[in-house]
Protein backbone atom coordinates (compact mmCIF):
# COMPACT_ATOMS: atom_id res chain seq x y z
CA UNK A 1 0.00 0.00 0.00
CA UNK A 2 1.44 3.34 -1.10
CA UNK A 3 -0.12 6.34 0.68
CA UNK A 4 0.38 10.05 -0.04
CA UNK A 5 -0.04 12.21 3.06
CA UNK A 6 -0.10 15.91 2.11
CA UNK A 7 0.94 18.77 4.38
CA UNK A 8 2.59 16.80 7.16
CA UNK A 9 4.70 19.91 7.70
CA UNK A 10 3.44 23.46 7.27
CA UNK A 11 5.34 25.79 4.91
CA UNK A 12 6.80 27.50 7.98
CA UNK A 13 8.03 24.18 9.37
CA UNK A 14 9.57 23.25 6.01
CA UNK A 15 11.36 26.62 5.89
CA UNK A 16 12.67 26.08 9.44
CA UNK A 17 13.94 22.61 8.53
CA UNK A 18 15.71 23.98 5.48
CA UNK A 19 17.32 26.77 7.51
CA UNK A 20 18.64 24.36 10.15
CA UNK A 21 19.81 21.80 7.58
CA UNK A 22 21.63 24.42 5.50
CA UNK A 23 23.76 25.20 8.55
CA UNK A 24 24.25 21.51 9.37
CA UNK A 25 27.22 19.27 8.71
CA UNK A 26 26.62 16.74 5.94
CA UNK A 27 28.44 13.40 5.75
CA UNK A 28 28.54 10.46 3.36
CA UNK A 29 25.14 8.72 3.36
CA UNK A 30 26.75 5.28 3.46
CA UNK A 31 26.94 5.61 7.26
CA UNK A 32 23.39 4.22 7.60
CA UNK A 33 23.55 1.71 4.73
CA UNK A 34 24.05 -2.02 4.99
CA UNK A 35 26.93 -3.70 3.19
CA UNK A 36 24.93 -4.36 0.03
CA UNK A 37 23.06 -1.05 -0.04
CA UNK A 38 26.26 0.93 0.47
CA UNK A 39 27.42 -0.15 -2.98
CA UNK A 40 24.29 1.40 -4.55
CA UNK A 41 24.08 4.58 -2.45
CA UNK A 42 25.53 7.97 -3.36
CA UNK A 43 24.13 10.80 -1.23
CA UNK A 44 24.73 12.94 1.85
CA UNK A 45 23.18 12.79 5.32
CA UNK A 46 23.05 14.78 8.52
CA UNK A 47 24.60 12.65 11.32
CA UNK A 48 21.75 11.09 13.24
CA UNK A 49 23.36 11.86 16.60
CA UNK A 50 23.67 15.58 15.80
CA UNK A 51 21.65 18.24 17.62
CA UNK A 52 20.07 19.32 14.32
CA UNK A 53 18.82 15.82 13.51
CA UNK A 54 17.42 15.38 17.01
CA UNK A 55 15.61 18.74 17.03
CA UNK A 56 14.09 18.37 13.59
CA UNK A 57 13.32 14.71 14.18
CA UNK A 58 11.31 15.60 17.28
CA UNK A 59 9.41 18.23 15.30
CA UNK A 60 8.53 15.66 12.62
CA UNK A 61 7.38 13.12 15.20
CA UNK A 62 5.02 15.74 16.65
CA UNK A 63 3.74 16.46 13.14
CA UNK A 64 3.09 12.77 12.53
CA UNK A 65 1.13 12.55 15.78
CA UNK A 66 -1.35 15.15 14.53
CA UNK A 67 -1.92 13.34 11.21
CA UNK A 68 -4.96 11.07 11.16
CA UNK A 69 -3.93 9.66 7.77
CA UNK A 70 -0.46 8.64 8.98
CA UNK A 71 -1.92 6.99 12.07
CA UNK A 72 -4.58 5.16 10.05
CA UNK A 73 -2.16 3.95 7.37
CA UNK A 74 0.86 3.05 9.50
CA UNK A 75 -0.82 2.03 12.78
CA UNK A 76 2.47 2.96 14.46
CA UNK A 77 3.85 1.09 17.44
CA UNK A 78 7.33 2.65 17.24
CA UNK A 79 8.81 5.21 14.86
CA UNK A 80 12.53 5.30 14.18
CA UNK A 81 14.02 8.77 14.80
CA UNK A 82 13.78 10.63 11.47
CA UNK A 83 16.97 10.99 9.43
CA UNK A 84 17.82 13.59 6.78
CA UNK A 85 19.44 13.20 3.38
CA UNK A 86 20.23 15.18 0.25
CA UNK A 87 20.97 14.27 -3.33
CA UNK A 88 23.00 16.82 -5.26
CA UNK A 89 23.64 16.66 -9.00
CA UNK A 90 24.90 13.22 -10.04
CA UNK A 91 23.78 11.51 -6.81
CA UNK A 92 21.39 8.55 -6.68
CA UNK A 93 20.44 5.41 -4.76
CA UNK A 94 19.96 2.35 -6.93
CA UNK A 95 17.34 -0.35 -6.28
CA UNK A 96 17.50 -1.80 -2.78
CA UNK A 97 15.37 -3.11 0.09
CA UNK A 98 15.59 -1.45 3.51
CA UNK A 99 17.13 -3.39 6.38
CA UNK A 100 14.53 -5.42 8.24
CA UNK A 101 15.74 -4.37 11.72
CA UNK A 102 17.05 -0.97 12.76
CA UNK A 103 18.74 -0.29 16.13
CA UNK A 104 18.25 3.12 17.70
CA UNK A 105 21.87 4.32 18.19
CA UNK A 106 21.06 6.09 21.46
CA UNK A 107 18.83 3.59 23.22
CA UNK A 108 20.00 0.42 21.48
CA UNK A 109 16.34 -0.52 21.12
CA UNK A 110 15.61 -2.33 17.87
CA UNK A 111 12.55 -1.84 15.68
CA UNK A 112 11.21 -3.95 12.82
CA UNK A 113 10.89 -1.86 9.67
CA UNK A 114 7.35 -2.46 8.39
CA UNK A 115 6.62 0.91 6.77
CA UNK A 116 9.14 3.19 5.04
CA UNK A 117 8.49 6.93 4.80
CA UNK A 118 9.97 9.82 2.84
CA UNK A 119 9.09 13.39 3.80
CA UNK A 120 9.99 15.77 0.99
CA UNK A 121 11.76 19.01 1.96
CA UNK A 122 12.48 20.40 -1.54
CA UNK A 123 9.98 21.86 -3.97
CA UNK A 124 9.78 19.55 -7.01
CA UNK A 125 10.43 22.48 -9.37
CA UNK A 126 13.80 23.12 -7.72
CA UNK A 127 15.42 19.93 -9.01
CA UNK A 128 15.30 17.51 -11.93
CA UNK A 129 15.42 13.77 -11.43
CA UNK A 130 15.49 12.57 -7.83
CA UNK A 131 12.18 10.72 -8.07
CA UNK A 132 11.49 7.99 -5.53
CA UNK A 133 10.71 4.88 -7.56
CA UNK A 134 8.87 2.04 -5.78
CA UNK A 135 8.42 -1.38 -7.36
CA UNK A 136 5.76 -3.74 -6.03
CA UNK A 137 3.35 -6.42 -7.26
CA UNK A 138 1.20 -3.74 -8.89
CA UNK A 139 4.00 -2.26 -10.98
CA UNK A 140 6.39 0.67 -10.72
CA UNK A 141 5.35 3.91 -8.99
CA UNK A 142 7.24 7.18 -9.40
CA UNK A 143 6.90 9.70 -6.57
CA UNK A 144 7.94 13.36 -6.44
CA UNK A 145 5.74 15.29 -4.02
CA UNK A 146 5.71 18.92 -2.83
CA UNK A 147 7.80 19.99 0.14
CA UNK A 148 6.03 19.05 3.38
CA UNK A 149 4.29 16.02 1.86
CA UNK A 150 4.94 12.43 2.97
CA UNK A 151 4.80 9.09 1.18
CA UNK A 152 4.42 5.76 3.02
CA UNK A 153 5.08 2.38 1.44
CA UNK A 154 5.89 -1.17 2.62
CA UNK A 155 9.52 -1.61 3.62
CA UNK A 156 9.50 -4.92 1.75
CA UNK A 157 9.35 -3.02 -1.56
CA UNK A 158 12.28 -2.64 -3.91
CA UNK A 159 12.85 1.09 -4.36
CA UNK A 160 15.40 3.61 -5.58
CA UNK A 161 16.04 7.34 -5.93
CA UNK A 162 16.71 8.43 -9.51
CA UNK A 163 19.83 10.40 -10.29
CA UNK A 164 19.48 14.14 -9.70
CA UNK A 165 20.42 16.01 -12.87
CA UNK A 166 19.78 19.57 -11.67
CA UNK A 167 19.50 21.18 -8.26
CA UNK A 168 19.36 19.33 -4.97
CA UNK A 169 16.74 17.04 -3.41
CA UNK A 170 16.39 17.21 0.38
CA UNK A 171 14.21 14.91 2.46
CA UNK A 172 13.65 13.22 5.79
CA UNK A 173 13.28 9.47 5.91
CA UNK A 174 12.38 7.01 8.63
CA UNK A 175 10.74 3.68 9.38
CA UNK A 176 7.76 2.58 11.44
CA UNK A 177 7.17 -0.65 13.27
CA UNK A 178 3.45 -1.13 12.87
CA UNK A 179 1.10 -2.77 15.34
CA UNK A 180 -0.03 -4.78 12.27
CA UNK A 181 3.06 -6.04 10.46
CA UNK A 182 1.27 -7.57 7.45
CA UNK A 183 0.80 -4.98 4.71
CA UNK A 184 -2.30 -6.72 3.33
CA UNK A 185 -3.98 -6.51 6.75
CA UNK A 186 -2.93 -2.85 7.15
CA UNK A 187 -4.46 -2.11 3.75
CA UNK A 188 -7.77 -3.66 4.75
CA UNK A 189 -7.81 -1.69 8.00
CA UNK A 190 -6.89 1.56 6.28
CA UNK A 191 -9.61 1.20 3.65
CA UNK A 192 -12.15 0.24 6.32
CA UNK A 193 -11.19 3.23 8.44
CA UNK A 194 -11.56 5.57 5.45
CA UNK A 195 -15.00 4.08 4.75
CA UNK A 196 -16.05 4.64 8.36
CA UNK A 197 -14.95 8.28 8.14
CA UNK A 198 -17.01 8.69 4.97
CA UNK A 199 -20.13 7.06 6.46
CA UNK A 200 -19.87 9.24 9.59
CA UNK A 201 -20.23 12.34 7.42
CA UNK A 202 -23.76 11.29 6.41
CA UNK A 203 -24.96 9.23 9.38
CA UNK A 204 -24.90 9.75 13.17
CA UNK A 205 -22.31 7.89 15.23
CA UNK A 206 -25.14 6.09 17.02
CA UNK A 207 -26.50 4.55 13.81
CA UNK A 208 -26.31 0.78 13.44
CA UNK A 209 -24.18 1.13 10.29
CA UNK A 210 -21.50 3.26 11.99
CA UNK A 211 -21.52 1.12 15.12
CA UNK A 212 -21.25 -2.08 13.11
CA UNK A 213 -18.38 -0.86 10.94
CA UNK A 214 -16.52 0.58 13.92
CA UNK A 215 -16.96 -2.65 15.87
CA UNK A 216 -15.63 -4.68 12.95
CA UNK A 217 -12.63 -2.36 12.59
CA UNK A 218 -11.60 -2.62 16.23
CA UNK A 219 -12.17 -6.36 16.36
CA UNK A 220 -9.89 -6.80 13.34
CA UNK A 221 -7.24 -4.62 14.94
CA UNK A 222 -7.56 -6.67 18.11
CA UNK A 223 -7.12 -9.85 16.08
CA UNK A 224 -4.12 -8.74 14.01
CA UNK A 225 -2.22 -6.34 16.28
CA UNK A 226 1.05 -7.36 17.93
CA UNK A 227 2.16 -5.23 20.90
Classify residue 102 as exposed, middle or buried by CB count within 10 Å of its CB (0-12, 13-18, 19+): buried
Q: Are residues 41 and 54 in the same domain?
A: yes
Q: 86 and 72 share a domain?
A: yes
Looking at the structure, tell me whether residues 197 and 98 fall in a common domain: no
Same domain? 191 vs 158: no
* DSSP code string of 90-108: T-EEEEE---SEEE-TTT-
How many other C-beta atoms lie within 10 A of the C-beta of residue 2?
14
Consult the annotation and say whether 159 binds a ligand: yes
Tell me the C-alpha distance between 121 and 128, whole Å: 14
pLDDT of residue 36: 66
User: Are 148 and 164 in a shared domain?
Assistant: yes
Residue 213's CATH number: 4.10.860
Q: What is the CATH number of the domain that holds 64?
A: 2.60.120.620
Q: Which domain holds residue 211?
A: 183-224
Query: What is the number of structural domains in the chain?
Result: 2
Cβ neighbours of 212 (radius 10 Å)? 12
Phi and psi (nearest 5°) for 53?
-60, -40
- Domain shared by 128 and 144, yes or no: yes
Instruction: Give the pLDDT score at 35.
Output: 67
Same structural domain, 169 and 191: no
In the chain (227 residues long), the average pLDDT of successive 10-residue segments reads: 97 98 93 70 95 97 97 97 97 95 87 98 98 93 98 96 98 98 97 97 96 98 96
Amino acid sequence: MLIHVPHILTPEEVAYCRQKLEAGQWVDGKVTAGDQSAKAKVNLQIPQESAVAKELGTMILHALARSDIFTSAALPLRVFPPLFNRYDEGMEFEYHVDNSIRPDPETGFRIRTDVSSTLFLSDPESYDGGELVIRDTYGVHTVKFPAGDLVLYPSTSLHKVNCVTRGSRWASFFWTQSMVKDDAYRTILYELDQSIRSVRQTMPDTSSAVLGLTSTYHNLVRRWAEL
